[in-house]
Structure 1
């Protein structure tokens, strides 16, 4: 049973194996559906060079860590989500548990991503 994408508001498309959230409703649903899991949100843009360079690493982590939820938000397609989350530089990574931000940093640092996951993963 296939429902209309507009009613699901889930995932616009996959980019590098990581779901890209379509809108604010999809963002809110992803956080709610994660339950107690750590959610890592990559705020990205198609024109952002560092975003493109970190994307394969982010996708690899998503494959290696099924107990962590990895999602992307394109800031140009979802300005409302970026604004609501206080994001104004790319890439920005936010780490959420139960809908609350527990960590954030900007920049394409593989080491910072790994350290934040290790610190905050339940």
Structure 2
């Protein structure tokens, strides 16, 4: 291998695969090295050439070499389309964000209001935890590793992540104004609790998990969001979400109110009511 000697750019030439000098027959330079080329103009006189050829370093001939100046600007001028294609094809590695590292199989990113509603309905009797976060929130970033750890410890629960920066309008409709913010849902019971939690008050999150992760019987289909929240999402023009209110069915076992009882008593004797009306009219 060739070695660089100080600032004079003198490299020791290998004895094998050397090329012969046409004039003197001696070894003038070694095999081509990437990024390095010879410039014979540096040898201005025969005396310098003879000194270079007679100079020995560890028993090897040395010659003057000069590095090529590579224009790196042409490598940096890459079109934007080419860079995007390289990213799509995986040629350039994409560094994951902090809210993407450490994700568990039971953690999912919410993409829209319809996706949120469908995820709550499809969860069935599972415990669902809504995690509202922001990429610019320091408290969310500090709490996220512990959230991933708790998700790993509770594989039967479903964790849904809602990016506040991407879904601000949806968060306003759901009355979420503090971050990080959590909501717990389960089956037909709907929303169980909601609270704001930080890294210092992580015990609040653990207590809620211990309370609501126990096996509970929930009759009926999953409720998901409240009726008011569904109507608020449907009324929001920024969201492509449609919702039709369910028709209210009368309850046959409903206890009649006092007004209904009084009306029914007055209508028991129609003759008395007719007489009263006639007397009133005649008077």
Give the gaps of 5 or more residues in structure 2.
Answer: 1-98, 216-283
Counterpart of 2:191 in structure 1 is 101
Counterpart of 2:171 in structure 1 is 82
**Structure 1, residues 15-39: CA drift from partner, whole Å, max 9, x if none?**
2413211111111121111101111
Counterpart of 2:100 in structure 1 is 15
The structure 1 segments of at least 4 consecutive aligned residues displaced by more than 2 Å after TM superposition are none
- 1: CA distance, partners of 2:181 / 2:124: 22
Q: TM-score, normalised by structure 2?
A: 0.37
Question: Is contact 2:132–2:162 with CA below 8 Å preserved after alignment?
Answer: yes
Q: Tell which has more relative contact order, 1 or 2 (C-alpha 8 A, sep 6+).
A: 1
- 2: CA distance, partners of 1:69 / 1:82: 19
What does 1:1-122 align with in structure 2 at a 5 Å threshold? 15-16=100-101, 17=103, 18-98=107-187, 100-108=190-198, 109-121=201-213, 122=215
Q: TM-score, normalised by structure 1?
A: 0.81
- 2: CA distance, partners of 1:19 / 1:55: 14
- 2: CA distance, partners of 1:105 / 1:34: 21
- 1: CA distance, partners of 2:211 / 2:173: 25
- Aligned length, in residue pairs: 109
- 1: CA distance, partners of 2:144 / 2:167: 18
Question: Is contact 1:44–1:51 with CA below 8 Å preserved after alignment?
Answer: yes
**Offset at residue 41 of structure 1 (A):** 0.8
SS of the residue corresponding to residue 15 of structure 1 reads coil
- 2: CA distance, partners of 1:117 / 1:20: 20
- 2: CA distance, partners of 1:39 / 1:84: 19
- 2: CA distance, partners of 1:111 / 1:67: 20
**Structure 1, residues 81-112: CA drift from partner, whole Å, max 9, x if none?**
31232100100011111272111111313211
Counterpart of 1:4 in structure 2 is none
